[in-house]
């Protein structure tokens, strides 16, 4: 086995025509945008394949959830002001697997790739992945240009990991085309995702 491996690697080395030095990552300039919020909105609704709704002063978050998913029979959330039938602080994973819509809070939005940083803020993080559809509430002021800025915020935060030691980036609905080249939604997580932008 090792002889076969070495023979393959040797053949590859012999057939290298050009060699290039490793880039100097210290000179790398992360991408920035004139309007990160506008770029985030554009990427969320195109590249990421999610929906985006904007809250206006006086809007009710529950009406926005209903606007996004009018047929939802059950909602899971522990966000204050959200009318939910299931609380991920007290529910079991099995209960969360049956939820139509999970409503969670995103802490950082990234304009570069339309992802949202979601630290665990509930006992059962399964609500982020097991819900059929997901609503992420995100403040406009929490949108940054790129992943470098996002990781800087995460590293300097004293709040994200106080109670739970988990966080994840979420970008759009779960999808894969690995199975017979057919695009499938909801293979690993939510089948649909809506970002609700709030001003405060």
State pLDDT tens for residues 151-166. Answer: 999 999 988 888 898 9
> Residue 149 pLDDT more than 90?
yes
| Four-residue CA torsion sign, 91, 96, 100, 102 | positive
35-83: pLDDT as tens digits: 999 999 999 999 888 999 999 988 999 999 999 999 999 999 999 999 9
73-125: pLDDT as tens digits: 999 999 999 999 999 999 999 999 899 999 999 999 999 999 999 999 999 99
> Residue 177 pLDDT more than 80?
no
Q: Which residue has the higher pLDDT, 72 or 26?
A: 72
* pLDDT given at position 75: 96
> Residue 141 pLDDT more than 60?
yes
Lowest mean pLDDT across 45-49, 172-176, 189-193: 172-176
Domains of the chain: 31-198 (3.40.50.10420)
Q: Determine the average pLDDT of the residues in 175-199.
A: 81
């Amino acid at each position: 086995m090792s002889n076969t491996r070495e023979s393959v690697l040797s053949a590859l080395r012999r057939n290298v025509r050009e060699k290039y030095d490793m880039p100097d990552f210290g000179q790398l300039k992360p991408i920035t945008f004139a309007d990160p919020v506008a770029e985030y909105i554009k990427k969320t609704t195109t590249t990421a394949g999610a929906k985006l709704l904007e809250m206006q002063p006086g809007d009710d978050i529950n009406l926005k959830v209903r606007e996004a998913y009018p047929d939802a029979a059950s909602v899971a959330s522990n966000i204050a002001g959200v009318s939910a039938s299931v609380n991920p602080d007290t529910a079991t994973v099995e209960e969360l697997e049956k939820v139509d819509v999970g409503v969670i809070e995103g802490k950082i939005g990234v304009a570069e790739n339309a992802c949202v940083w979601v630290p665990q803020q509930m006992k059962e993080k399964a609500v982020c992945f097991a819900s059929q559809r997901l609503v992420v509430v995100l403040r406009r002021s929490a949108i940054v240009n790129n992943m470098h800025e996002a990781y800087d915020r995460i590293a300097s935060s004293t709040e994200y990991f106080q109670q739970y030691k988990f966080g994840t980036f979420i970008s759009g609905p779960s999808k894969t085309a690995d199975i017979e080249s057919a695009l499938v939604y909801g293979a690993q997580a939510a089948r649909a995702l809506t970002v609700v932008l709030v001003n405060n």
